[in-house]
Amino acid sequence: MKILKIILIVLLVIILLAGVGIFTCYMITKDVKLDIAKLESRQTNIKLLDDKGSAISIKNNIYTPISMISDDIRETFVAVEDKRFYEHSGIDTKRILSASVKNIFSWSFKEGASTLTQQLIKNTHFSSEKTITRKLSEIKLALEIERKYTKDQILEMYLNVVYFGSGIYGIHDACIAYFNKLPIDINLSEACMIAGVVKNPNKNSPISNLDGALARQSVVFKILENQAKISESTLNNAKLYNIVINNGLKENSFSHSYIKNALDESCNLLGINEADLVRDGYIIKTYFDSKTQEFMYNKAINNSDINDNYYTYSTLNNTNLGVSTYVSNVPLLDHQIKRQAGSTIKPLSTYLPAFEKRIISPLYQVLDEKIDINGYSPNNYNGVYHGYVSISDSIIHSYNIPAVKTLERVGIDYSTAFLSKIGINISEKEKNLSLALGSNSVNPLEIAGAYASIANYGKYQKSHFVSSIIDSKGNIVYNEKNTNSTAFNENDAFMMTDILLKTSKHGTGSKLNNLNYDIASKTGTVSAGKGVNSDGWCVAYTTEHTMLAWHGAMQNEVLDNKHSGSNYPTIMVREMANCIYTDNNPPAFTPTSEVIICDINKKELEDNHIILRQNEGTIDDIVKSYFYKDNLPEYYSDTDISIPFIVSKNGRHNKIEFLCESGCIYEVYKTDLFGNVKLVRRITANGDKICIVDANSILYKTDNYHVMKADIDI
């Protein structure tokens, strides 16, 4: 009798607790209502705005009825996401208990137990916050859906709203994006890959990570095998099927490449995944310029010369480094693109650091010759060498040897430290002299952002797509702030800009020479050997915008020589500039206060490679160039009598030899870093030939000498 009484009390307590629980659940969820319109909507909660505050369409999804979705897709998704889908009434109690036990023993909450019905509710009605209230509300609405709709209707709605990453929503767009097929035409192997994406779209998307997608597909195969719902022979055939990725969405949305980068950046800023971002009702404000974006998109897809290659075209606003356009057919986010920089790196890795170290000026002379530095023997384009050339001409015409020699003087460590200040990080294996020629890996926006720092007179800020983010409650959760820093001297920046303006007029960027405003440019080409290329670059900037065009060969392919940086990429930059400056031209670049333009004696420069100022003369007698006010060249003297001489190597040093008159005094001068003439040696001749060694000379014949008979009494 006593035992019975205890049992009754226990039952009463259980009933009471259950009643309290039910009442509590009711009170918590009493205001939660099922919104049929959300279930049937083809729109996502997220909103992206352009630079004028107008909405950017981020969804192409065509609603696909269950009858137009292959059985393989339906069966695979049910097997992977909710194997008792056709048995439960909205919640899977067995799965909940199993997940609870695993979470208790692992002391975590990693194991989920949501049914497809619950996932449908979560994707259409709630944010990603993990609270008891949300979970109870989700369960309540899942049970209600099960009473109102059939299982096939629920599965149909789920497949049309599920998120696949990279701005892809719904089964229709996923099938088109991955295989360029309609859902009804998807086979078992393809279905297993599609179903595998949902768990982690960033990691498992076949567009951005085919290896990850194949690994996840194998897991899905194993799930099907364990459930034994598909015959062994059918499953084996699916495993042997050769998956071919064919992105059919690339021509469906001119803004797609911009959107996927903006979404990725937003996730990083908020520290959440993309599925939560698109579901939680955020408003993301961007720098998107729809006019230029659509113009460049149409130029790209209608140009038969580039459609078989990778390409990226982008524009930055120099004021805030906002990305205003980004058109690309590369199935990767910008920061995932890793390509050789080619000659676009030369001003960044070599010449700007050399300006900063004060070891060159624009007219500083370098001997362009065949070299071999510890086995490294780079060549100029077509194997042509030009003798003594100025730093300015070396950049304008993109000669290789002067860049390598200058980098050797700068030092690899100094160069890589400089590059890091403008957003380009160099790996240990890339730290060698080939860095002067762009053997390092970069992504398009790294190059664009680095050149924008030159346009901004040495101020650097990382480029970005997002200006602010507002949550569903109207709170500003992110607001972009001006974070620019002084990466290098404004005078160095102007010196480089002046040279790159000339590059657009009569150098490798000369396809821009018909633009009637200041536009600086640099091109780059990465050779794949035998007259073909792997990459072509052109980056250009005005006072207002930085523009970039990159063409790259797809895997195991090459570009023909029309895709050199000075050709197709430069043409696309010109098209970009013409679209941006339809109505108003950008202001001109202005010299900084610490530089001055000087007239330089042309004959001395060409004959003796010495930089001397000229008081007066005709345009044929002088060369104009900028110099620092505090380090101007000396004036040319008509009384100087130059003596012919020969420079050769004596070990690591330069040897200067010339014929002389016995008993006379001779002076050997060397130009300093900015063209000033310094005495190397004064010597009295005791024969008919003098030979001296300059112990302070650098490796290779980049020093400039001047030999003259001294006007001194013995």
Rounded Cα distance, 370 and 379, in Å: 7
- What does pTM read for this prediction? 0.74
Residues with Cβ < 8 Å from 534, sequence gap 6 or more? 339, 340, 526, 527, 528, 552, 553, 558, 559
pLDDT digits (tens, 9 = 90+) for 594-640: 999 999 988 888 888 888 888 766 677 889 999 988 888 877 655 55
Mean predicted confidence (pLDDT) in 6-27: 58
User: In whole angstroms, what separates CA 473 from the centre of its chain?
Assistant: 33
Rounded Cα distance, 141 and 240, in Å: 42
409 — pLDDT class (breaks 50, 70, 90): very high
Integer CA distances (angstroms), 187 to 15, 70, 196, 418, 471, in order: 51, 8, 14, 52, 40
At residue 714, the pLDDT reads: 36
Q: Which residue in 596, 594, 595, 504 sits closest to 541, CA to CA?
A: 504
Q: Which residue in 539, 303, 517, 356 sits closest to 442, CA to CA?
A: 539
Mean predicted confidence (pLDDT) in 380-404: 93
Q: What backbone torsions phi and psi does residue 621 show, to the nearest 5 degrees?
A: -95, -10
Q: Contact 349/314 with Cβ under 8 angstroms?
A: no
At residue 252, the pLDDT reads: 44
Mean predicted confidence (pLDDT) in 21-40: 57
189 — pLDDT class (breaks 50, 70, 90): very high
At residue 250, the pLDDT reads: 55
Rounded Cα distance, 230 and 232, in Å: 6
Q: Contact 243/214 with Cβ under 8 angstroms?
A: yes
At residue 405, the pLDDT reads: 94
Give the 3-state secondary structure of residue 627: strand
pLDDT digits (tens, 9 = 90+) for 62-103: 788 999 999 999 999 999 988 888 888 878 777 666 544 444
pLDDT digits (tens, 9 = 90+) for 460-505: 999 999 999 999 889 999 999 878 899 999 999 999 999 999 999 9
Q: Which residue in 515, 502, 508 sits closest to 574, CA to CA?
A: 515
Q: Long-range pairs for 434-437 at CB < 8 Å and ≥24 separation? A: 434/376, 434/378, 435/345, 435/349, 435/407, 436/345, 436/346, 436/349, 436/350, 436/400, 436/403, 436/404, 436/406, 436/407, 437/342, 437/343, 437/345, 437/346, 437/378, 437/400, 437/403, 437/404
Q: Contact 52/197 with Cβ under 8 angstroms?
A: no
Given a cut of 70, whether residue 572 has pLDDT beyond it is: yes
665 — pLDDT class (breaks 50, 70, 90): confident
More confidently predicted of 167 and 128: 167
At residue 506, the pLDDT reads: 95
| Joined tokens for residue 157 | 């709605």
- Percent of the chain at pLDDT above 70? 84
Q: Looking at residue 416, what DSSP letter applies? A: H
Rounded Cα distance, 242 and 189, in Å: 9
Rounded Cα distance, 604 and 642, in Å: 10
What integer best gives the mean pLDDT of the chain?
85
Tokens 């729109």, located at residue: 43
105 — pLDDT class (breaks 50, 70, 90): very low
Given a cut of 90, whether residue 30 has pLDDT beyond it is: no
107 — pLDDT class (breaks 50, 70, 90): very low
